Structure formats: structure tokens, C-alpha cells
């Protein structure tokens, strides 16, 4: 049975993919691809027995690989950047409208090329296979594996896949996500924060302080104390000692992407903790910790 839509939801172009409008401000912060190694992340999650439930991923469509690997029963792809929300919607609609599995990857490649989504088609082809010179890659399992394709299409057909324009640092924009999961009959089980807790050096003090709202935001999105939160940092040393006791660093079962000799790139570390532990420790205080403490 399809979940009943609320006034906060919209369906575009006769699609069953739900669009959630959280009322977030617009910020041009999104990337059309992940700068992380999603193949490594998925392999690191493989030993976790917890599967199913709702999945919330921040960022682009690489989150689909994580959601499907975790056998999610409902999926929300969320971003503060409207262009990334629209990109996710277009990609999902291609899946929805493609009847034959063998046509999906060509359809995706055609869209990527026509819309100049990636730096180049060579970049995209490496991104979904051996990895790019930035050491990033994603499995794109739903375009390579018929079972993943059928699973994603079924979730879309059941009205259990959504895109959301929300802000992880603004709890008031997250309530629409909780409503969607409730109507889908699931609880939020997995969240992929990506590197949200590891902001770049150009983040201002107000933005840095707002990271303290992450726990409240995830609760507003339907998170429970046992919701599993996945994060990434540039090195294990970036996890403060005060947080280490309640974090579990994942151990990928695949070889990392070969490092480029001509370009700086990061080899991300992935770790998980429960939302309850995130509530206790707070988000990671990284690049601007000392500066903010002096304010």
C-alpha cells in the first residue's frame, strides 16, 4: 500500500517519487557526486546485522547504493542545495521510467552527458568502476545489478522513495521527513551524514555553531536512540578522544583507490555510532573547535 501524501509533499510529472519541502534556505554547497569511496563504505557496513527500516542520506544519488545494501524499506535523499535535490529527482525518475534493466545505465549515461552533471564522461565511467583521480567511486549497483534495480523500482512504485530540500542544521526543516517515514510504516534506521561533521576551513562561526543542531534534527526526522549514524572524516586522528569510546570505525574489505600522483586527494575514514551516542557526545568538533571556544 502506498503511503498517503500530506500537504507537505508533492509529486512531480506524474511520478510516484515524493518531493518533500522542508522550507530550508538555499545554499550552493552540494556536489553531484561523492568525494568519498562509497564502495569502501558499503563493504565496511557489510558485517552489521541491522537492515531494513528507513534510510536518510545527505547528498547525491550515491546514497542509493548505501540504502539498497542496507535493504532499506524506505529512502529519502536530502540536501540543502536545490540543484542536488533536483538531480536526485531526475535520476530516480529515469529509474522509474526505465522498463528494461539493460536500458538503465545507457539512460543514466545519456542524462549525465546531456546535462553536464559530471566533469567529464571519462570521470563518470571511472567513478562507477575503478575510481577517479580524487579517489572517489560508487558501486551504482542499481544500474548494474538486476535485483537492486527491481528493488529500487518497487520502492518507487510503492511511494516509498523521496527527495527532500531540508537542512541538517535546522531541525524545523526535518519534520517532513519524519512524516514521510511514518506514512511509509518504518522508523529511521540509518543516516548517512557524509562529512557534514567535518566542515572545511571556510565555514563561518555561525555555520559551525549550527552543527550542534544535528542531533535534534535527526530526532525531528524520526530518529530513535538506536538509529545508526554513518559519518566520514579525513583521518582517524580527527575523531576526538572524548568521542572514540562510542564510535566504531569501519574496516573496508576492498582495496582503496590508487592515489593520484598529480592531484591532492583524501582517503576518508568511515565510522558509525548510535543517535543516542551522538546525543551524548555531540557532533565532532574539528577544524574550528578552538576558535569557537574563544567566542
- From the list 218, 215, 216, 199, the residue with the least C-alpha distance to 207 is 199
Q: Which domains, and CATH codes, for the chain?
A: 9-293 (3.40.50)
Burial of 86 by CB count in 10 Å (0-12 exposed, 13-18 middle, 19+ buried)? middle
Rounded to whole angstroms, how far apart are CA atoms 30 and 80? 7
pTM, full prediction: 0.91
Residue 129 carries which DSSP code? T
Name the helix (H) or strand (E) containing 209. Answer: helix 205-210
pLDDT by 10s per residue, the chain, length 295: 455 555 456 665 689 999 999 998 877 777 899 989 999 999 999 999 999 999 999 999 999 999 999 999 999 999 999 999 999 999 999 999 999 999 999 999 999 999 999 999 999 999 999 999 888 999 999 999 999 999 999 999 999 999 999 999 999 999 999 999 999 999 999 999 998 887 665 556 666 678 889 999 999 999 999 999 999 988 776 787 778 888 999 999 999 888 776 666 667 899 999 999 998 888 875 444 433 333 2
- From the list 283, 201, 294, 193, the residue with the least C-alpha distance to 240 is 283
Would strands 161-165 and 74-79 be described as parallel, antiparallel, or unpaired? parallel
Sign for the CA dihedral angle at 249, 255, 257, 262 comes to positive
Rounded to whole angstroms, how far apart are CA atoms 28 and 20? 18
Q: How far out from the chain centre does Cα 113 lie?
A: 23
Amino acid at each position: 500500500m502506498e503511503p498517503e501524501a500530506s500537504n507537505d509533499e508533492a509529486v512531480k510529472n506524474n511520478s510516484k517519487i515524493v518531493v518533500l519541502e522542508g522550507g530550508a534556505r538555499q545554499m550552493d554547497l552540494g556536489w553531484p557526486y561523492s568525494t568519498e569511496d562509497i564502495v569502501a563504505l558499503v563493504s565496511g557496513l557489510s558485517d552489521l546485522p541491522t537492515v531494513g527500516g528507513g534510510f536518510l542520506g545527505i547528498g547525491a544519488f550515491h546514497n542509493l547504493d548505501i540504502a539498497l545494501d542496507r535493504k532499506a524499506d524506505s529512502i529519502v535523499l536530502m540536501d540543502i542545495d536545490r540543484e542536488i535535490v533536483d538531480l536526485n529527482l531526475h535520476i530516480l525518475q529515469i529509474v522509474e521510467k526505465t522498463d528494461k534493466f539493460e536500458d538503465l545505465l545507457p539512460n543514466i549515461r545519456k542524462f549525465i552527458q546531456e546535462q553536464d552533471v559530471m566533469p567529464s564522461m571519462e570521470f563518470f565511467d571511472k567513478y562507477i568502476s575503478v575510481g577517479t583521480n580524487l579517489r572517489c567511486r560508487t558501486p551504482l549497483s542499481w544500474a548494474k545489478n538486476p535485483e537492486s534495480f527491481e528493488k529500487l523500482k518497487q520502492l518507487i512504485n510503492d511511494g516509498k522513495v523521496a527527495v527532500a530540500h531540508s537542512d541538517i542544521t535546522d531541525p524545523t526543516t526535518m519534520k517532513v521527513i519524519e512524516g514521510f517515514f511514518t506514512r511509509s510504516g518504518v522508523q529511521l534506521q540509518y543516516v548517512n551524514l557524509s562529512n557534514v561533521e567535518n566542515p572545511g576551513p571556510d565555514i563561518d562561526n555561525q555555520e559551525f555553531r549550527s552543527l550542534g543542531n544535528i542531533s535534534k534534527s535527526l530526532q525531528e526526522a524520526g530518529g530513535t536512540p538506536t538509529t545508526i549514524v554513518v559519518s566520514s572524516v579525513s583521518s582517524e586522528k580527527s575523531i576526538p578522544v572524548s568521542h572514540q569510546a562510542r564510535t566504531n570505525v569501519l574496516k573496508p574489505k576492498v582495496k582503496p583507490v590508487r592515489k593520484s600522483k598529480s592531484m591532492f586527494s583524501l582517503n576518508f575514514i568511515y565510522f558509525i555510532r548510535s543517535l543516542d551516542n551522538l546525543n551524548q557526545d555531540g557532533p565532532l568538533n574539528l577544524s574550528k573547535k578552538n576558535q569557537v571556544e574563544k567566542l
